[in-house]
Amino acid sequence: MFALTQGLRRAAQTKPNGTSTHFAGRRRTWQETSDRVSRIAGALFALGVRPGDRVAILALNSDRYFELLYAIPWIGAVMVPINTRLAAPEIEYILSDSGAVVLFIDTAMSHHLTALEDKMPGVREVVWLDDTSGPEGLLHFEDLTNYDPALDVGAADDDLAGLFYTGGTTGRSKGVMLTHTNLVVNALNGIAGIGFNGDTTYIHSGPMFHLADGASTFGVTMAGGRHAFVPRFEAAEVLQTIQSAKVTHAQFVPTMINMIVNHPRFAEFDIRTLQFILYGASPMPEGVLRRAMQVMPHVKLMHAYGMTEAAPIVTLLDPRYTTLEGPFAGKLKSCGQAALGCEIKVVDAKREEVPRGTAGELAIRGANIMKGYWNKPDETAAVLKDGWYYSGDGAYMDDQGFVFIVDRLKDMIISGGENVYSAEVENAISLLTGVSEVAVIGVPDERWGERVHAIIVPKSGVTLSVDDVMEHCRSRIAGYKCPRSIDFRDTPLPLSGAGKVLKRELREPYWKGFTKAVN
């Protein structure tokens, strides 16, 4: 049986007095955490939450967030972690689309409450997640721990465990339906491939609403390790927490690693306990890798590739290949080989497998693949067929099964580890008075890997400014989705014979000198 809560129950059984969480001066044991989770679950049941109901979380990282990731499935409900960087209209859509009945929120996100007050009729209860006293009328999280403990209802296997919203090529987020099996299989991959064990202390420095971090949550717990948290990524705070909590394992995107190893106070911190860094979202720039190897020679670096639809790990690049010299140096640009339990292939436009070394679309099959997109049968059918998930990522595979990502067939940009779908940004910009045409592409950026770049054709006789566009975008979409650079042109955008904008042609001037069209 594959059940998320089994990992927590095992940790409480085998290491009752072992440290489970370390945050804001608080340390709890696995027995304490298990007891709190069962009581929070009991409170949710008293609030009317039943198996299959959706419970949303809009908050920064904390030990309480961690407890919710177990309390929700404890009563068979479905977790809905929400991206904290979204704008109010995007949050409203997720709450409505998911049908969430309870929302957990903290101080950092409380500014959304006014905007959302009359726009979440399905939400029956809002619970305050912070140490501080919340707005009048809201339940406080700690009050939930005074309820009688609930029995674990035994949700498992093909039961829905979570809805994880990812950007949409049509401009609307899609709720990725992941089951207990999906998430447990991925957690086992973390144990086998990454090496989580009972001596692991993992730092949650990436946002916990991202499945990349959530997957490590379940793997570390199953192994009986420990969890340390920082609310959001700040290089100095991460270094301080690595030192104070004796962190052994971390997960960063290359942008974060760059900020850490080049932090002016880096040498002040004792990070000798750190053994392993898992990185993803983009390949490691050579300069960042050289610096990391110089200042952290004792740390192993592993590249992971995946997506929410795969819960998320698809491939892993063994640390021995994270090198700039020797016989393995050529593998550094690869995202690795198939993770355990994952089957991968590269296919052509007819979805027929192509020879090794030939670029095509990467397809994945395994027990980690999603059940589908919530309330989107057509979009589900477009990517799932005969057990295979068609990723939309352009790639090729060498004779040893190493995968090299070369392009994205989906119109997506990865900036600082965040996925940005061009359609979402284009939809927002198109609503600005005076815009005739708009195309959004990813262009190389030294700090972020890629940045969001807009190319706008104003209507005849209209003059638009960068400030006009930015102010308009900030009111409609998350800040990280807003363009970081904008070009205005007076000629129409190039179109294909089918009338589609030729994005590849628009990207070409920016990507000259690069070996691939993604960074």
* Rounded (10°) CA dihedral 349, 351, 354, 360: 50
Side chain identity at 23, as an amino acid letter?
Answer: F
* Rounded (10°) CA dihedral 38, 162, 362, 440: -130
Position 329 confidence tier, pLDDT thresholds 50, 70, 90: confident
Looking at residue 411, what is its pLDDT? 72
Instruction: Decide if pLDDT at 21 tops 90.
Output: yes
Average pLDDT over residues 114-127: 91
Looking at residue 171, what is its pLDDT? 62
**Domain boundaries in the chain?**
11-179, 337-408, 412-510
Looking at residue 335, what is its pLDDT? 92
Looking at residue 247, what is its pLDDT? 99
Least confident of 102-106, 193-197, 273-277, 414-418: 414-418
Strand-pair category, 388-397 with 403-408:
antiparallel
Percent of the chain with pLDDT over 70: 96
Position 217 confidence tier, pLDDT thresholds 50, 70, 90: very high
Integer-rounded Cα radius of gyration of the chain:
23
Position 122 confidence tier, pLDDT thresholds 50, 70, 90: very high
Q: How many angstroms separate the CA atoms of 303 and 305, rounded? A: 7
Check if the beta carbon of residue 74 is closer than 8 Å to that of residue 101: no
Looking at residue 356, what is its pLDDT? 97
pLDDT in tens, 85-104: 899 999 999 999 999 999 99
What's the token pair of residue 9? 């129950």
Provide long-range contacts, Cβ within 8 A and 24+ apart, for 506-510: 506/439, 506/441, 506/455, 507/441, 507/442, 507/443, 510/441, 510/443, 510/444, 510/453
Q: How many angstroms separate the CA atoms of 304 and 311, rounded? A: 12
Q: How many angstroms separate the CA atoms of 321 and 333, rounded? A: 9
Superfamily for domain range 11-179: ANL, N-terminal domain (3.40.50.12780)
pLDDT in tens, 278-304: 998 766 777 788 899 999 999 999 999
**Which residue did the predictor score with more confidence, 499 or 462?**
462
Containing H/E element for 91?
Answer: helix 88-98
Looking at residue 517, what is its pLDDT? 57
Instruction: Decide if pLDDT at 515 tops 70.
Output: no
> How many whole angstroms from its chain centre is CA 401?
25
Q: Which fold has domain 337-408?
A: Luciferase; domain 3 (2.30.38)
Phi, psi of 277 (to 5 degrees): -125, 125
Q: How many angstroms separate the CA atoms of 384 and 470, rounded? A: 37
Average pLDDT over residues 409-424: 79
Looking at residue 214, what is its pLDDT? 76
- pTM score, whole prediction: 0.85
Position 519 confidence tier, pLDDT thresholds 50, 70, 90: low
Position 409 confidence tier, pLDDT thresholds 50, 70, 90: low
Average pLDDT over residues 407-432: 81
Cis peptide before 135 (omega within 30 of 0): no
Q: How many angstroms separate the CA atoms of 255 and 205, rounded? A: 13
Check if the beta carbon of residue 287 is closer than 8 Å to that of residue 295: no
Looking at residue 416, what is its pLDDT? 84
Q: How many angstroms separate the CA atoms of 414 and 167, rounded? A: 11
Q: Do domains 11-179 and 412-510 have the same CATH topology?
A: no
Phi, psi of 139 (to 5 degrees): -65, 145
Instruction: Decide if pLDDT at 518 tops 60.
Output: no
- Which distant-in-sequence residues (6+ apart) come within 8 Å of 229 by Cβ? 21, 22, 23, 61, 62, 63, 65, 66, 203, 204, 241
Looking at residue 287, what is its pLDDT? 75
**Which residue did the predictor score with more confidence, 430 or 153?**
153
Position 81 confidence tier, pLDDT thresholds 50, 70, 90: very high
**Residue 24, class by beta-carbon neighbours within 10 Å (0-12 exposed, 13-18 middle, 19+ buried)?**
exposed
**What mean pLDDT is reported for the chain?**
92
Nearest to 407 by CA among 424, 395, 420: 395
Length of the chain, in residues = 519
Superfamily for domain range 412-510: ANL, C-terminal domain (3.30.300.30)
Looking at residue 496, what is its pLDDT? 64
What's the token pair of residue 272? 């000798």
CA distances to 13, 171, 428, 484 from 86, rounded to whole Å, are 39, 14, 13, 17
> How many whole angstroms from its chain centre is CA 438?
27
Phi, psi of 478 (to 5 degrees): -60, 150
